[in-house]
Amino acid sequence: MNFKKIFKNASTISLSFLAIILALIILAFTYLYLKTPLAKSLSTRSIPQTTTIYDKTGQHVLYELHGEENRKILGHNDIPDTIRISTIAAEDDGFYNHIGVDFLSILRAIKSNIEKNGTAEGASTITQQLARNAFLSRDKTFKRKINELIIALKIERQYSKDDILDMYLNEIPYGSNAYGIGSAAKIFFGKEARDLTLDEAALISALPKATSYYSPYGNHIDELIYRQQRILDRISELDLADNEDIAEAKKINVAEKIIPFTEKIEAPHFVFYVKEELEKKFGKDAIEDGGLKVYTTLDYDLQKNAELAISENENTLQKYGASNAALVSLDPTNGNILAMVGSKDYYNKQIDGNVNITISPRQPGSSFKPFVYAAAFEKGFHPEINILDKETDFGKDGTGKNYIPKNYDGKYHGVVTMRQALATSLNVPAVKTLTLAGIENTVSLVNRFGVAKLENTNDYGLSLALGGEEVRMLDEASGYAVFAAEGKKNSIKSISKIIDSKNEIFYIPEQESSQILDMQVARKINSVLSDNRARSAVFGPNSKLHIPGKTVAAKTGTTSEYKDAWTAGYTPHIVAVAWAGNNDNRSMKTGADGSYVAAPIWNSFMQKALANYSDEPFEDYVKFDPDDPNIIFDKVVYKKKNGKEISEKKAKDKDPDKIDISITYFTANSIVNE
């Protein structure tokens, strides 16, 4: 037998078989190469990025919104060399020498995995890891690994090494919901990536190998520090940094520099109000993944003042049995929200602190009265008109009982002006004013102001005058802003502008404003509410509604059973509404009215807000013209019980029970008897 010939034929067949196998591999590789994603899409694809919410200046970060990936894309100059060399030493020390794939390392990894009866894995270069994170799943399959190799080769042909490393550092997960070096630096060390020192960079570079195992917030801190030290050693071996710098970095206890894991949030109630507005307008995904810069209307200093105003009045709140308080402030000239504190403590579960009281319906009490008087002033009544404060039966109310309101002090004050009645918050005159203005007209004005959404006029009775319907603090602040802006309503705004991830304008809200109230009517309300002399009869000259040296309009409100205490007030350039009470609607202690519980908070805030501004008196209204047919006048008549008319002076000297008083309101076209 010719063994030589047989061996030769066998060799020829084997070589042919190997050639066929090789050809098939080349064809398969070529097919896969053509089918894999184009590497050039790496830099143009949409990458989830964190949206940042700022105050109005952009100097204060209020919150960062993101989905599963908390990421900020950094430019080349914002990525420090410390993180570059640490990453190369930790992940791929041949990065600048290979073509995207290190075949010798792959062969060693395959051999190791075969010996351990595992799936081929490991030895991935930085480029391969970038390919996997950008285009592929993390499934440990042979097909996925081949795709990874092919995409890596394509990436290397398309981009420079520096570009690849930048994209990798912006892409890679570091654990604790940090994606990219920008987020990692913020989360673990509370600083910008460009400020990372060598010891910090080495620690961060240790994380991608096993983010959960090596987490700075996990149970393997010793192992993390050990790996960080080995990375510093490898930097030295590769001569990537000065040995003195490396030696200094190794001495530093970097674990002590790791900041506690907290979700930083400033002005939480305002932030989540803004978040809800954003999601309504643009959708959740666009906000969480869009990398937007949201500049809000919040005045950071005023926000801190609002928080301080509540905290420094804690003793007062406790004294009156109020477990919670809130404050909201607007700029009446443009509708911007300047401050929003929705509760005493957002994180206090016992008081439902996460509930934002500024956007929760509550009864406003007497703080609602200015809208009733404004409706009357629209009809031609005015601050100088007289109104009778005496016990009055207004007939059956919704419960079937006769409606006979009482004043807060339990007394009746006879003939008073509307100025006095509103300034001292008398209840009976307020209800009478509602009857004069008309419920329908008042409901129309309230809806026009946006203070509340009152739909069917027939559903509301005379208790409306005393704040019987629920409103939101924010909406009432917007209503008071109409008075401050002399009848102009500016829509409420929480956002000033949004910049997208390319630093281009994404959104600027339109300024919506309209004159919804006659200027003279607004000026009448301003005049009454800022008249400290008029309100002194009840509140005293130095109450918490008064700010020395400043002209401020203010009104308190207290609901039945002391469940809500309000103070609302303003100048031409700032409105603030304060509330105190209990979220669960429990009553506070007897006597917990707005002037004692809410007014101190309002006063503390407004004093600081106005400290650096000169006094801004309100423009006075034009006094009524006797020849104006739209102006309502009055005639007061005093009579004895026998019907004999007497003078006001004599009437005051007699027993009130023996005197009948009537007021006739008239214009050129009408007469109304009270």
Q: In this structure, which amino acid lies at residue 363?
A: Q
Instruction: Look up 366 and say whether it is catalytic.
Output: yes
What contacts 230, CB < 8 A, 6 or more positions away? none
Whole-angstrom Cα distance, residue 183 to residue 194? Answer: 12
Which comes out higher in pLDDT, residue 500 or 570? 570
List the catalytic residue out of 64, 69, 91, 476.
91
**Secondary structure element (H or E) that encloses residue 35, with its range:** helix 3-35
Q: How far apart are CA 384 and CA 618, in angstroms?
A: 18
Q: Percent of the chain at pLDDT above 90?
A: 59
pLDDT value at residue 133: 76
pLDDT tens across 287-324, in order?
877 889 999 999 999 999 999 999 999 999 999 999 99
The pLDDT of residue 673: 66
Q: What is the mean pLDDT of residues 362-383?
A: 96
Helices (H), 391-531: 418-423, 427-437, 439-449, 473-484, 519-529
What DSSP element (H or E) covers 634? Answer: strand 633-640
DSSP symbols for 138-184: ----HHHHHHHHHHHHHHHHHS-HHHHHHHHHHH-EEETTEESHHHH
DSSP class of 478: H
Q: What is the pTM of this model?
A: 0.79
Convert the pLDDT of each residue in 434-465 to its tens digit. 999 999 999 999 999 999 888 777 778 888 99
Beta strands in 368-421 (DSSP E): 386-389, 414-417
Which residue in 366, 478, 494, 604 is the catalytic one?
A: 366
Residue type, position 264, single letter: K
Q: What pLDDT shows up at residue 3?
A: 46
Helix/strand/coil for 559? coil
Answer whether 473's CB lies under 8 Å from 326's CB. Answer: yes
Indicate the fold that domain 73-257 takes in CATH. Answer: Penicillin binding protein transpeptidase fold (1.10.3810)
pLDDT higher than threshold 80 for residue 216 = yes
Task: Write the CB contacts of 347 (distance below 8 Å, at least 6 apart in sequence).
Answer: 353, 354
Q: Could you state, in order of their start, the residue ranges of all structural domains in the chain?
A: 1-35, 73-257
Whether 277 sits among the annotated catalytic residues: the reply is no
In this predicted structure, the answer to whether residue 244 has a pLDDT above a threshold of 80 is yes
Kindly list the distances between the CA atom of residue 545 and the CA atoms of 79, 163, 553, in Å, as whole numbers in the listed order.
Answer: 54, 62, 8
Give the HSE-up count for residue 379: Cα atoms under 13 Å, Cβ half-sphere.
26
The band of 2, judged by pLDDT with boundaries at 50, 70 and 90, is: low
The SS3 of residue 248 is helix
Which residues does 21 contact at the CB level (< 8 Å), separation at least 6? none
Can you say how many angstroms the Cα of residue 460 is from the centroid of all Cα atoms in its chain?
34
pLDDT (mean) for 267-278: 93
Instruction: Note the pLDDT of residue 324.
Output: 97
Give the per-residue pLDDT at 644.
85
pLDDT tens for each residue of 126-178: 888 888 877 775 556 666 677 777 888 888 888 888 988 998 999 888 887 78
DSSP letter string over 255-268?
GGGPPP-----SSH
